[in-house]
Chain A
């Protein structure tokens, strides 16, 4: 019998989804390269910018942990999100929905497979970024102390939530809406206070920022680097928000799938409309 997990998920079903992504990665350098190339370019660019700013600034002020660290953490979040969406797009690009969804595979198993794929690709990206930032620009992740792990956890959960939500959007709106997904991290970054405190923003943007779990991470990161006290309770709010959002995103994907089955959209997906 199959190894069913306690929560009712079938491990072999999930392994099938993950194995497909592994085969695609292994056989295609064009898929493998972006997992670390773009983030490496970002680190190099911001590494030199911080080095330049350090040369202009007051002695003793170090931009590396604030600016380069922020870029690194934000890129990690982006990679997690795109890890989920790109794995989903593989089924869109190869028009594979009928083959995938007319099987015993459940939606929870399918989404779990996408998430595991994203974990693998984002870890590769994180390793590449750390290697460059540490080796070339003297960045130390450990300057954030023990808070590093919850920072990464919150960003990871929010990346998964946003990736699942973006996949639901593409499932609902059709293949062409893929182009709405790529700019999402850039669209959110001004609200999340990646490079500046939320207090810099006008009030309405601050309200949006408070709904985004990464804003708690970046506020905390700046407080630690500045040597100020950091409220763990504040980060817990970010963590709670990320958990709620991941549940909401999963519910949203399942609801969109149910509607697509009712309306006929899933069976005629490439038409982008059933109207």
Chain B
């Protein structure tokens, strides 16, 4: 784990809850992400991962709880909190009718990035996008679009980076490149990263800490390389399947 335990959290989530009518999508979730730390938010489909990320991004209001990013409350200091944050999600591609450079310019202004042109050049280089500079994003492959989204997500050098399934639907070679890029982001600076993925092998490889959620609750948390043995299974994927199939057993264990 690269994070310093004494460093104040980049992201602090306390008692987070989201209710739609009688359905509890997120139920009393609390966790921290420290600078330099990659935290995996894992769980079966519908577990509440994306709902949690949407609340951190301020596009969904919690029913209860508090989210603060570097001490800025997302509910009351939205602009300050989101200026320190960025995200890339498989379901939120950048507009396909703008070129890579145009998208980066537009979002660079919206994130109020200083020395924007130089920053865009650095990111195009870093994410291997120089030759796609004038290509419309809608014409790029899934892997290339993911790299553009990551470049956008790094425009403001965010202290908190949210990645919702960044390697979904891309080939293993591209996924490995992207994992390396993300690992470099965490080790090369003070950014904390919250990552969701359904690929347990990449989670074991990349994440310093994982939270396994089901039915809106955190059922397990810990070091992804030690958790499986602590629960008597061979690897993280087996543990994930156990939690997904028998969440109540783990909920009782948690209680």
Q: Measuring CB to CB, which residues of chain A are less than 8 angstroms from any residue of chain B?
A: 2, 10, 12-13, 15-17, 19-20, 23-24, 27-28, 90, 94-106, 261-262, 264, 266-267, 274
The minimal Cβ–Cβ distance linking B29 to chain A, given in whole angstroms, is 16
Is the contact region of chain B dominated by helix, strand, or loop, or is it mixed?
A: mixed
Contacts of A106 in B (CB 8 A): 79
The minimal Cβ–Cβ distance linking A50 to chain B, given in whole angstroms, is 40
7 A-B residue pairs with Cβ-Cβ distance under 8 Å, sorted by A, are: A13-B109, A23-B106, A94-B95, A97-B59, A98-B89, A104-B80, A261-B58
Q: Assess whether B107 is in contact with A16, with CB atoms less than 8 Å apart.
A: yes
Partner of A102, one of B51, B58, B96, B102: B58
Chain B 114-142 interface 0/1 with A at a Cβ cutoff of 8 Å (1 = within): 00000000000000000000000000000
Q: Assess whether A261 is in contact with B95, with CB atoms less than 8 Å apart.
A: no
Assembled-state Cα–Cα distance A275/B83 (Å): 32
Contacts of B58 in A (CB 8 A): 101-102, 261
The minimal Cβ–Cβ distance linking A217 to chain B, given in whole angstroms, is 36
Partner of A24, one of B18, B61, B98: B98
Told that A10-B112, A16-B109, A103-B110 touch, could you supply 18 new A-B pairs with CB distance under 8 A?
A13-B110, A16-B106, A17-B110, A19-B105, A19-B109, A23-B102, A94-B95, A95-B92, A98-B59, A99-B92, A99-B95, A99-B107, A101-B59, A102-B59, A102-B82, A104-B110, A105-B110, A264-B18
Q: Tell me if B87 is interfacial: C-beta within 8 Å of chain A.
A: yes
Q: Assess whether A99 is in contact with B98, with CB atoms less than 8 Å apart.
A: no
Q: Assess whether A20 is in contact with B111, with CB atoms less than 8 Å apart.
A: no
Assembled-state Cα–Cα distance A98/B92 (Å): 7
Q: Assess whether B59 is in contact with A266, with CB atoms less than 8 Å apart.
A: yes
Assembled-state Cα–Cα distance A16/B106 (Å): 5
Q: Assess whether A99 is in contact with B60, with CB atoms less than 8 Å apart.
A: no
Q: Assess whether A103 is in contact with B82, with CB atoms less than 8 Å apart.
A: yes
Contacts of B169 in A (CB 8 A): none
Q: Tell me if B207 is interfacial: C-beta within 8 Å of chain A.
A: no
Q: Assess whether B109 is in contact with A12, with CB atoms less than 8 Å apart.
A: yes
Residue among B99, B102, B108 facing the most chain A CB atoms (10 A cut-off): B102
Contacts of B96 in A (CB 8 A): 94
Assembled-state Cα–Cα distance A219/B111 (Å): 47
Q: A104-B79, A104-B112, A106-B79 are in contact. Are A261 and B94 (CB under 8 A)?
A: no
Residue among A98, A99, A264 facing the most chain B CB atoms (10 A cut-off): A99
Contacts of B51 in A (CB 8 A): 267
Pairs A-B, 8 closest by C-beta atoms: A16-B109, A16-B110, A102-B57, A94-B95, A104-B83, A104-B79, A98-B92, A267-B54
Interface residues of B in 46-69 (CB under 8 A from A): 51, 54, 57-61
Partner of B112, one of A2, A100, A261: A2
Assembled-state Cα–Cα distance A95/B89 (Å): 13
The minimal Cβ–Cβ distance linking B133 to chain A, given in whole angstroms, is 14
Q: Tell me if B45 is interfacial: C-beta within 8 Å of chain A.
A: no
With both beta carbons as reference points, the residue of chain B lying nearest to A20 in the complex is identified as B106
Q: Tell me if B2 is interfacial: C-beta within 8 Å of chain A.
A: no
Contacts of B199 in A (CB 8 A): none
Residue among B18, B96, B109 facing the most chain A CB atoms (10 A cut-off): B109
Contacts of B82 in A (CB 8 A): 102-104
The minimal Cβ–Cβ distance linking A246 to chain B, given in whole angstroms, is 24
With both beta carbons as reference points, the residue of chain B lying nearest to A24 in the complex is identified as B97
